[in-house]
Chain A
């Protein structure tokens, strides 16, 4: 063993010299390597563990939201099931035919059909013409894009041109009948030939008629809060 110059410690006392035998040097080197390996291992654990934890937390939050959405869906489905059960008797009541053979549902769909309802409109126009004392020469439908409608509407519509012959007062009566009809027919324009004071006139009236396609019962999405 070779003693080196002994360093002086804080108290002024001489401390023992650091041993520098082969065994102590190997131990010192081994400890240094060990510390370095442990620091490396710690860093690796922090990095890999952090990434893994981040990924797991992400999956957990995602699954947690899915479960929350599922709870909401189940609640809404249960609500819908009970609403439909409550609706059944009311629906039966509204679709039951009345004394005239027509149900309330028929009346609603006659006033606002779920398709263009053009076939039903034609006899209605003819009847109004007969009751007003005007001759309805023809009826034609126009669905041309950009055609003017009476009232800008969110509902689908098309225009119907009705040329009439008769006294102007009868034409006005026909117009009144269209205003009173259960099917909404909004006046767009009228061109007149002949005197509006006396004698027969030829008038061509254009109306906008509306319909509404069947309601969509497709599932809708709601934002998760």
Chain B
């Protein structure tokens, strides 16, 4: 038969257990504090390092800006010239060749038709106002525009494509003198006209 003899009194054992428990909790709390403390210090150091680098860079940037500002007049004038040249190039490509429109227009218009106004919009819409003798003449005129450069008066050196299309008689009225006033709206193919040699 074995006898287990406890050489330390129970009170002493309980005190030691409590001490160990306190030590454990102290260690855990200290570890947490150390982890957070070290992290905070690391970020503070990094932040201070970045601010130092930024200040050094600021001086470099300020010096460069100062040097560049001496050439600001040259920069503005050169940029203006470059911009305006590019703008001119863009506009030149979209120039309207109205004289070519008129040459073709008057190829179609017969002698009994008198034109009082012509206007053209940016998207190539042409509006003609004039007078003639009868509704029949207006109708014939509209047909002539439709067939122009196709079956009627094909133009030399030009593709057989309609120069005037979507012809609409938007206004038609008889005046007191017996004359017929009309307004014709149509679309002009300016791309074809650009290929036409100027007369």
Contact = CB atoms under 8 A, between A and B. Distances in A.
Interface of A: 13, 16-19, 21, 23-24, 27-28, 30-31, 34-35, 38-39, 41-42, 45-46, 49-50, 52-53, 56-57, 59-60, 63-64, 66-67, 70-71, 73-74, 77-78, 80-81, 84, 87-88, 91, 94-95, 105, 108-109, 111-114, 148-153, 155, 172, 175-176, 179, 184, 186-193, 195-197, 210, 212, 214-215, 217
Nearest to B84: A112
A39 B24 CA distance: 11
A217 B76 contact: yes
B80 A186 contact: no
B106 interface: yes
A106 to B, nearest CB: 10
Contacts of A53: 36, 39-40, 43
Contact of A192 (B71, B118, B123): B118
B22 interface: yes
Given A34-B22, A151-B91, A153-B91, A77 B47 contact: no
A167 to B, nearest CB: 13
Given A151-B94, A179-B98, 4 more contacts: A16-B6, A73-B61, A94-B81, A192-B118
A13 to B, nearest CB: 7
B74 interface: yes
B83 interface: yes
B134 to A, nearest CB: 19
B88 A112 contact: yes
B161 interface: no
A195 B68 contact: no
Q: What does DSSP make chain A's interface, helix, strand, loop or mixed? A: helix
Contact of A21 (B11, B25, B44, B74): B11
Interface of B: 4, 6, 9-11, 14-15, 18, 21-22, 25-26, 28-29, 32-33, 36-37, 39-40, 43-44, 46-47, 50-51, 53-54, 57-58, 60-61, 64-65, 67-68, 71-72, 74-85, 87-88, 90-92, 94-99, 102-103, 106, 109, 111, 114-123, 198
9 contacts: A27-B15, A31-B21, A60-B46, A74-B60, A77-B68, A84-B74, A151-B96, A176-B99, A212-B80
B96 A190 contact: no
Given A184-B92, A217-B79, A60 B117 contact: no
Contacts of B39: 49, 53
A45 B36 contact: yes
B112 to A, nearest CB: 10
A42 B107 CA distance: 98
Nearest to A11: B4
B15 to A, nearest CB: 6
Contact of B40 (A56, A114, A188): A56
A155 B90 CA distance: 10
B119 A188 contact: yes
A190 B36 CA distance: 83
A141 B22 CA distance: 95
A105 B94 CA distance: 23
Contacts of A66: 50, 54
A200 to B, nearest CB: 15
A24 B116 contact: no
